[in-house]
Amino acid sequence: MDNTTLNRTVTVYNYWLPDGSNDHRHVSRAKATLETIQHVLRCEPLLGTAQEVEPDELNAEGMYQRLATGWGVLG
């Protein structure tokens, strides 16, 4: 198999938002690569939130935002 035809993905994570104290921190809605989280945003990644996405789903800053779907609230 030709390696150029393989699907390549990147791993993105949620992260702690920089505002608030340790007792009242909030988790990001967007996800980002570890490099972006640590070196650009200077935040702490939440490693248990790893998700594989296509590279073209990242914006220019290395951020991933899940697109809203039409499902709405269930239940």
Rg from Cα positions in the chain: 15
**Domains of the chain: which residue ranges?**
11-64
For the chain, count helices (H), then strands (E): 1, 4
Helix (H, G, I), strand (E, B) or coil at 26: coil
**Which residues in the chain land under pLDDT 70?**
1-6, 20-23, 67-75
Q: What's the pLDDT at 1?
A: 46
Residues in the chain: 75
pTM comes to: 0.75
Q: What's the pLDDT at 71?
A: 62
Q: What's the pLDDT at 61?
A: 87
